[in-house]
Amino acid sequence: MLSVWINPNTGLLVPEYATPLTLLVVAGVVFCLAATKLGADIVLLGGLTSLILTKAVTIPHAVHGFANEGLVTVAILFIVAEGLEQTGAVGHLIQYVLGTPRTQKSALGRMVFPVAAMSAFLNNTPIVAVMLPVLDDWAKKARLSVSQLMMPLSFATILGGLCTVLGTSTTVVVNKLLEAASREGEFAQLDMAPLALFELGWVGLPCCLAGLTYLLLTTRFLLPDRRPAMEQFDNPREYTVEMLVEQGSPLVGKSIEEAGLRHLPNMFLMEVERGGHILPAVSPREILAAGDRLVFVGVVESVVDLQRFAGLSPATNQVFKLDGPRSDRCLIEAVVSHSCNLVGMTIREAQFRSRYNAVVIAVSRNGERLRGKIGDIVLQSGDTFLLEANPMFADMQRNSGDFYLVSKVENSTPLRRERAWMAQVILACLVILVTVCGVDILPASALAAAAMMLTGCVKPREARACIDWGVLVTIGAGIGIGEAMHDSQAGATVAQQFISLGGNDPAVTLAILYGVTMLFTNLITAKAAATLIFPVALSTAQQFDVSPMPFIVAIMIAAAASFATPVGYQTNLMVQGPGGYRYSDYIRFGVPLSLLLWLVSVIVIPQVWTF
């Protein structure tokens, strides 16, 4: 017969084996994340499934994480971020706030301080969601390592969030628990009250400054410099592409270097044509003028980035003669076959646009750098064209005898710059709703996402495709495992064992309580750790007959400051893929930062909130 006991906190019947089994599963999850290349979503979902099958957690509690407000908010904010990216609304942010740094340390300084300041008043998740495409584009243009920017982005938002109660959802949750405990229950007689908006800053600001200094000094040494896979090939396929500096372009009057065209990744500015004269070996100090025709040579990914550059457009006016708006088109690679009737003719003579309803944007020919205007290039079999066309072109021409191979280029739809102002207004309204009007982040984000789709900033198919389901599964499964830790009292058992080591000294116990919360927040997510350790902190204060506030503030900081694993906080998960990080990267870079904040907190907290 199965032996069970009743969890005093939940009233649930729990199998006797639930506690050791849950601890075993959590240990297995941590091992798999650290020692294998399996995705975090697969590992966590597998761990949660095993807990469900063994009845260590009830099904409603196991799937509770998939209905979590934070998870739904993350999903919706992917759509908001996609609208900002598809309209180029964040281009000005790159140009004017981030600028063009010359070193990695200077880039970090330009990024972490503004991000941390925003995070003090805005939830971390939307900041990271919006900044991900911005940083990716910025890093490419400045020739910086993306892997040395993405994790500092997440950590900077967490550090900034420690400065106010509203900075992170974790501090909000703990403050709500504190408010409820101060009004009712067995701890109501304790001397405690919810924190004011800036009160957490007494310890949060020193932690933030210490953490940001750590990021600036150690990122170069502790984070890997991982280059995109396309940079690892010696001879990638190069295209010749012409771009025109538009009238009224923000690039007019700037030098090549100031415009960000000097160090494009895998892209070389071969020459500039101005008023019929060719300027070869272009100097980085050359000033751009309206009407300049810029000839670039580079790989397809860089051509896609060039198409999204504000103030530049394809040099051929043929793109404006195609049917339908540019935002309905994409880039397509097509290899000319030996049986194509156009071989031996120039692109202009072949009337390519009229024949295929597609425009040749760039041409690649066996690594040869083609000179002259694209329309004057004589077609040869084996030439690879980069075309701007309706996505249906690939389906219609795939079996055509004119081309050997036809394939779409991912994420190559031209930006809807005419809607950029709409996306900026929507983002501003989202910020105002959350910070000034006090609207919860979930309904405010849902309203912003709906506005993005209704105004055409993002299309429904793009909205569906932009959501990173792996991140959502990881967050949901992580919360479910946290529920199992709570239901089985596995977490409370471990916490009590650690805290008992503090003896009769409240200061030592405070340090241990912080350390236990720090450990748990990196293993079972921040909110799960906070809710798990909160009653332990109150009981500890009651046993010592001292104020619970130092212990509660320690839980706030320790639970919110999740750096050592990707599963501890959703922003860490959001940057894992774009940064190409491994589990060991979080341990190497995040553990020293966690220990630094531990030291600062246990020194500062008792000075502000006395026992």
Q: What is the mean pLDDT of residues 63-69?
A: 76
pLDDT at 414: 67
pLDDT at 185: 52
Strand, coil or helix: 287:
strand
Give the Cα-Cα-Cα angle 52, 53, 56 (nearest 5 degrees).
50
- Domain ranges, ordered by start, for the chain: 232-408
Strand, coil or helix: 268:
strand
Q: Is the pLDDT of residue 556 over 80?
A: yes
Q: What is the dihedral of CA 130, 407, 312, 465, to 10 degrees?
A: -20
Query: H or E element: which one contains 71?
Result: helix 69-87
Would you put residue 272 in left (φ > 0), alpha (ψ -120 to 50) or beta? beta
Q: What is the rounded CA–CA span in Å between residue 563 and residue 484?
A: 22
Amino acid identity of 550? Answer: P
Q: What is the mean pLDDT of residues 97-102?
A: 71
Q: Is the pLDDT of residue 205 over 90?
A: yes
pLDDT at 595: 94
**Residue 571: is it exposed, middle or buried by C-beta count within 10 angstroms (0-12/13-18/19+)?**
buried
Query: Residue 300 — pLDDT band, cuts 50, 70, 90?
Result: confident
Mean pLDDT taken over the chain: 77
pLDDT at 235: 45
Query: Residue 502 — pLDDT band, cuts 50, 70, 90?
Result: low
| Structure tokens belonging to residue 269 | 């500015």
Q: What is the assigned CATH class of domain 232-408?
A: alpha beta
Percent of the chain with pLDDT over 90: 8
CA atoms within 13 A on the CB side of 488: 29
Q: What is the rounded CA–CA span in Å between residue 184 and residue 189?
A: 9
Q: What is the rounded CA–CA span in Å between residue 521 and residue 499?
A: 16
Choose between 508 and 300: higher pLDDT: 508
pLDDT at 1: 42
pLDDT, tens digit, for every residue of 439-479?
877 888 889 999 999 998 888 888 888 787 776 777 778 77
Q: Is the pLDDT of residue 41 over 80?
A: no
Distances (CA, A) of 362 to 281, 349, 383: 20, 17, 10
Q: What is the mean pLDDT of residues 389-396?
A: 77
